[in-house]
Amino acid sequence: MSPSPPSSGPLELVAGDDAGGRLDAWLAARLDVSRSRAVQWIDDGRVTLNGAPVRKKDPVAPGDVLTVTIPPPEPSGVAAEAIPIRIVYQDADLAVIDKPAGLVVHPAAGHRTGTLVNALLHAVGDLSGIGGVLRPGIVHRLDKDTSGLLLVAKHDDAHRFLSDELKRRRVKRTYLTACWGHLAEDAVTVDAPIGRHTAQRLKMAVVEGGRAARTHFRRLERWRAAELLQAELDTGRTHQIRVHLLHLGHPVVGDRTYAPDRAKGFGGPERGWALAFAKRVPRQFLHAAELRFTHPRTGEAMRFEAPLPPDLAAAAAWARSSASGDGL
């Protein structure tokens, strides 16, 4: 990437193996922007193909050269707020944040303030304007009630590089999670497509025709009626870990959306333990614990870790100490 990180101006793109299909779709995928944004740039005359004007439906072939003049960032109307967040690392190109549970990432209906974006605008001033809107260049997201490491790009070049690395599965994200019951094996890989639930549109599910999704699970600790797992993502679908564990029949402990009453499903001596453990887990037991990626400017291999936050660490400590039934 360029040593000087412009946030607007001409950008030259050369189509390769990803060529094919309509120009607007190709441009949106290459620059990680919405298709409507790509169409707007084309309609505004900001895109040329091999030096000539283009239409959004024009095909893209290998070797084609597209020049895009990205418009300058526009004010987002999102206010900076002094919300405490822990910045694990930052430099001129990126920042790594340890997001607390309960914090929504992006402003949306019902959450116009009090989000991670509001906090970043206060804590970090030089943020990406990718997509023509002044907003932090968050490379991947975490659910509101998931804690842990999140990667933020500070300018468009870094955002494009890291987003491309994510699509190529070179950004490695490892989570710690607790699931109900016990997996059949110490290591399990779930390769099952995820899409919208056919009946409950606010949920995701393993569905035929969904987007490809693969998660690797490894048992770290076996507890009485639950266990601590390491989960590594090959893909990044919405609710992927939660949906894949539910698909296995071992949903995430504390997941109020997908398995709100799972602790009540145990019988015998495990039932009392499960109910006691559930009371000690204040939210879904899911934490982004490790993040590995290549630095967009230096090419250095970057690796960051975040231990379990106090709420989940306390629940895990109780689960270990009560393995034989003591402490119920």
319: left (phi over 0), alpha (psi -120 to 50) or beta: alpha
Q: Cα(276)–Cα(151) distance, rounded to whole angstroms? A: 35
The pair of three-digit structure tokens given for residue 48, joined into one six-digit string? 């040329």
Owner of token pair 């990432």: 105
Q: Cα(130)–Cα(115) distance, rounded to whole angstroms? A: 19
Query: Contact, 166 vs 292, CB < 8 A?
Result: no
Query: Contact, 312 vs 318, CB < 8 A?
Result: no
The pair of three-digit structure tokens given for residue 316, joined into one six-digit string? 């895990």
Q: Cα(179)–Cα(247) distance, rounded to whole angstroms? A: 12
Query: Contact, 253 vs 179, CB < 8 A?
Result: yes
Owner of token pair 């992006």: 106
Query: Contact, 175 vs 287, CB < 8 A?
Result: yes
Active-site residue, 143 included: yes
Nearest to 104 by CA among 146, 140, 68: 146
Catalytic residue among 64, 93, 143, 145: 143
Query: Contact, 310 vs 281, CB < 8 A?
Result: no
Nearest to 271 by CA among 180, 151, 203: 180
Task: Give the total residue count for the chain.
Answer: 328
Q: Cα(283)–Cα(174) distance, rounded to whole angstroms? A: 19
Beta pairing class for 214-222 and 226-233: antiparallel
Catalytic residues: 143
